Amino acid sequence: MSPRSSNSRRRHEEGFTLIEMLIAATVLVILLGLVGNALVSSLRIKQSETQIVEVQQNLRSALQLMSQDLRAGAFLHLWHDDDCSGSAVCSTADRVAVVTTDGTMTTIPEPPGSSYTNSAETNVCDARQFNDGDVALVYNNGVVDLIEVTKTQIQADHSKPCKGPPGSPNRDKIQHNKDKLTGQWSASSYLYRAIVASYYLAPDPVEADRLALFRQTGLGTPQEQSGLVAFGVSELSFDYGVPVDPTAAASQLIFYPALEAAAAALGGNYSAYPRTPGKTYVGSVVEAVRVRLVGETKGTGGNEPRTFELTETVELRR
């Protein structure tokens, strides 16, 4: 056997050298590091994608709920207090108040032509389905107003025909001390139970540094179906589509970021506020509302925050 073959056989029997083992360990550590970095990066991407999917689902659900309310708007469609400070119910560039009805109604049995001034109560044929704190819509031959019911008086014999003055009245009474009415009754006067749903952004109840979308019903004290709609909503905006000529059968819509701007564009016969005597409330001629929602992820786990935007133009029922 040659000396070279003998040395090779001896090295094989002795195993790996220390240097070879160190090199192998270094390569293994590098490979593990590369695999670990790839795994961490993959988990970050998955977490980021999961967060943006959750934001997308939240925004789509919120937009669907708002669209349903807007399409169900009745008579006034939108409500807009003349003072939008604090928790007032308004329709502005960053919040909206939609007026709908739930199908409950009763006749107002007043003689056509009779006047009422600063009235805090309204006679109705049947007040049994109305409760204290309800919002009601008063329809009087095209003139529409909202009231908050402060007290119902059930005093009619509902087995007999409803009658107002003159003669022996047979009717119930609804009081609305917070909302006084002035006008003249017509032959077509009704009272509907209404829902005023307001959408707005406010601090998240769990994470105060983030915003959330809320829905609140009622003109004052929050009523049923009020609460949080979606987390992670960072921006909310509305534009109001008004015809260039509201008297025309069909007219191009122009969108304004505020009802005040729409009323000013239509001229002096229109007002941005429902309770302006002698003026047409511009909210009643709005034909579409453009809604814009922007959601933002938390950006946790080393991920940068990501945003997702939805915009929809909702046509109102006429």
Tell me whether strands 280-281 and 270-271 are parallel, antiparallel or unpaired: parallel
Average pLDDT over residues 239-245: 94
In degrees rounded to 5, what are phi and psi of residue 197? -105, 120
Return the residue matching tokens 């308004």: 90
Task: Set out the domains of the chain in order of their start, with CATH numbers.
Answer: 96-194 (2.40.30)
Report the mean per-residue pLDDT for the chain: 86
CB neighbour list of residue 91: distance below 8 Å, 6 or more residues apart: 78, 79, 80, 97, 238, 240, 259, 283
Alpha-carbon distance of 65 to 62, in angstroms, equals 5
Residue 17: burial class (beta carbons within 10 Å; 0-12, 13-18, 19+): exposed
CA angle 303, 309, 312 (to 5 degrees): 165
- What is the model's pTM? 0.80
Report the percent of the chain where pLDDT is more than 90: 54
* Per-residue pLDDT at 3 exceeds 60: no
* Per-residue pLDDT at 194 exceeds 70: yes
Summarised one tens digit per residue, pLDDT across range 64-116 is 999 999 999 888 899 999 888 877 899 999 999 999 998 899 999 999 999 99
